[in-house]
Amino acid sequence: MGAEVKSPPGNGSYCFRIHGHIYHRIARLYSNERFKPGYGQLYIFDASEANSWRLGNNPSCLSSVMEKLDALLRTINPYAESYLQMHQLIQSNLTVNVKMIFMEHPDLDMRRYNAPTFSTEVAVIFVGDDGEPPANRDICIYPIGEGCKNISPLNHCNDPMVYPLLFPIGEQGWSNETEHVEERRSAKRNRVTQLQFYAYRLSVRSGFSLLHSSSKLFHQYVIDAYVKTEGSRLNYIRLNQKDLRVEFYRGLLDALTTRASNNNLRVGKLVILLSSFQGSPRSMQQNYQDAMAMVRKFGRPDLFVTFTCNPSWPEILNAMQGRERPENRPDIVVRVFKMKLLELLDDLIKRKVFGCVTSYIYVIEFQNRGLPHCHILLTLDSSSKIRTKYDIDKFVTAELPNINVNRRLFEIVTKCMVHGPCGPNAPCMKDGECSKQFPKAFREETEENVNGYPVYKRRCIEPVRVGKHYIDNRWIVPYNPWLSKKYNAHINVEVCASVKSVKYLYKYVYKGHDAASITLKNDDSVNHDEILNSLDGRYVSAPEAMWRLSEFSMSDKSHTVIRFAVHLPEQQAIFLKKGKKMKQLNGLL
């Protein structure tokens, strides 16, 4: 498995985060002077020689542990056995061309032909000068030749070959013939989707789990599983572009044609990423327009709440086993955050902590280190509106609590609600200044509206030591004391004082996932490939991958917005059923 790994900036807990595509490949059966042995090649060497190569690449590992793992895999792993047998066959007859092919055929019962074994008939196929290997192969290992051969992510042999330590006995991955165990026992045969398979495999069960206990390798597996699943969806969209309602993209086609004409280039391919694909730019833009429609109906939002996961929650720590750390279990982190988020929404909407809420929207995002956080915009009814500075002070404060009166709240605020102090290498620093405008100025009273936002009361106090630094009220992020004390997390509460802040807030909420700025250029043509842009420019961490594999929603709103399709005369959308086009067209005429 290979990917461009991008570590988040700064110091912090481990986070495996990729940028762009994930690829899978396997090296040639034998190494030479140019290529050092690796991956499956080591299983055809002598055990001591193979371990010496491994220890050279991993000097911090114990030789005794490496020897035990090698002996175990050589004994129980069917793929290691297949490599050994291929080696033996070639050594006995150097003129024979040997290939190992894992077949997936719809007519085969995959419960019987489910993995290569030590049997020659299953694991090895001889291809003579006049013969050709089956055309529907997915994994093919060549003993002779240059370069590496790609492995299809849709092959059920992919996971056990890429992660032999996670699946030492060669447990199969997903294939398009995978079925539920209960359905397999009955007469029904319903296929399991790729997402359902990985969600099932990643679920927590009683007893020891090698997969969940693999620390950093678990991060890699989770991201790999999600990217393969999303890649399958994107590939389906790419291969079915002709079925899209292209009349809705007429403006995009015209713009592409004009740009090509101005630069004396030909129009290249046009690949659309649908708005129904969750997290796509079209989806975010559509959600933004829906939110603005709610603003026209219910008015501007009154409160902007940001809720961030706290990896030190007792619910997360109590679920750890042995020496596990929260950063090693992104599955537990996102599930606990999901439960906390639902409870917070109940407090805000049903229990009316800030008053009666007439409408709301929220969007899930992920920090550089992978922790999930949620942006919530609340609109209150007329009886609960925040109109004066006294109303603001009743719900929001930006000061340190009195340690003698409420020690627990003081500990929570100093741990979760302090910004900085900013150093020269802090991520918030831009051109030598804090982009969040910290430290703030001292102020004896709250001012209601300054450029769309209130300026909170921050009285001058004696600095308090927090860790290595001394802080005062200038460094405190606005919060609600009751929510902070209940949830023990970073919950930033901001009051929207003016309609000027509306557009910025909704644009900020629906800005989309973290991505790199890229340019795709072709000298001969003008292309527009939204799928490739989405893949190449995206950063994915293990918690985000786990959130999406669990099918948790990335956004939600209180009201359903029905979009009316506006069109020019005789340019309305027409839906035709497959196989009945001529009959329907005759009916329309």
Quote the pTM value. Answer: 0.76
- Identity of the residue numbered 20: G
CA separation for the pair 327, 307 (Å, rounded): 19
For residues 340 and 506, which has the higher predicted lDDT (pLDDT)? 340
CA separation for the pair 116, 122 (Å, rounded): 6
Average predicted confidence (pLDDT) for the chain: 76
Integer CA distances (angstroms), 107 to 177, 180, 224, 256, in order: 10, 19, 29, 45
Whether residue 198 has pLDDT greater than 50: yes
Whether residue 125 has pLDDT greater than 50: no
Secondary structure of residue 139 in the 3-state scheme: strand
Confidence (pLDDT) at 423: 75
Q: What is the pLDDT of residues 17-37, one digit of tens each?
A: 887 777 777 666 666 666 677
Confidence (pLDDT) at 247: 44
Residue that is last in its domain, among 107, 129, 151: 151
Residue 2 belongs to some domain of the structure: no
Element (H, E) at 281: helix 281-298
The beta strands (E) that lie in 356-407 are given as 357-366, 372-380
Q: What is the pLDDT of residues 559-572, one digit of tens each?
A: 999 887 777 776 66
Q: How many CB atoms lie within 10 A of CB 517?
A: 5
- In this prediction, residue 449 has a pLDDT band, given cuts at 50, 70 and 90, of confident
For residues 17 and 227, is the Cβ–Cβ distance under 8 A?
A: no
Whether residue 287 has pLDDT greater than 80: yes
For residues 455 and 121, which has the higher predicted lDDT (pLDDT)? 455
As a three-state string, the secondary structure of 303-366 is: EEEEEECCCCCHHHHCCCCCCCCHHHCHHHHHHHHHHHHHHHHHHHHHCCCCCCEEEEEEEEEE
Integer CA distances (angstroms), 348 to 338, 462, 500, in order: 15, 34, 24
- In this prediction, residue 511 has a pLDDT band, given cuts at 50, 70 and 90, of low
Containing structural domain, residue 502:
283-310+337-510
| Mean pLDDT, range 41-59, rounded to an integer | 79
Confidence (pLDDT) at 359: 94
Residue that is last in its domain, among 510, 530, 545: 510
Look up residue 551 and give its two tokens: 């099918």
Residue 188 belongs to some domain of the structure: no
List the beta bridge partners of residue 526: 267
Q: What's the structural domain count of the chain? A: 2
Look up residue 40 and give its two tokens: 């499956």
Confidence (pLDDT) at 57: 80
Least confident of 8-22, 216-230, 258-272, 333-347: 258-272
Residue 552 belongs to some domain of the structure: no
- Identity of the residue numbered 516: A
- In this prediction, residue 489 has a pLDDT band, given cuts at 50, 70 and 90, of very high
Least confident of 173-182, 236-245, 552-561, 575-584: 575-584
| Mean pLDDT, range 270-294, rounded to an integer | 75
For residues 133 and 124, is the Cβ–Cβ distance under 8 A?
A: no
Residue 580 belongs to some domain of the structure: no
CA separation for the pair 168, 152 (Å, rounded): 20
Query: What is the distance of C-alpha 348 from the center of its chain?
Result: 27
- In this prediction, residue 139 has a pLDDT band, given cuts at 50, 70 and 90, of very low
Residue 438 belongs to some domain of the structure: yes
Q: What is the pLDDT of residues 455-481, one digit of tens each?
A: 999 999 999 888 888 899 999 999 999
Residue 41 belongs to some domain of the structure: yes
Residue that is last in its domain, among 478, 510, 542: 510
Give the list of residues 6+ apart from residue 430 with CB closer than 8 angstroms, or none: none
| Mean pLDDT, range 294-300, rounded to an integer | 90
Whether residue 41 has pLDDT greater than 80: no
Q: In what order do the strands lie in the sheet with 303-308?
A: 491-495, 303-308, 372-380, 357-366, 555-557
| Mean pLDDT, range 338-346, rounded to an integer | 96
Residue 546 belongs to some domain of the structure: no
Residue 94 belongs to some domain of the structure: yes
Whether residue 132 has pLDDT greater than 50: no
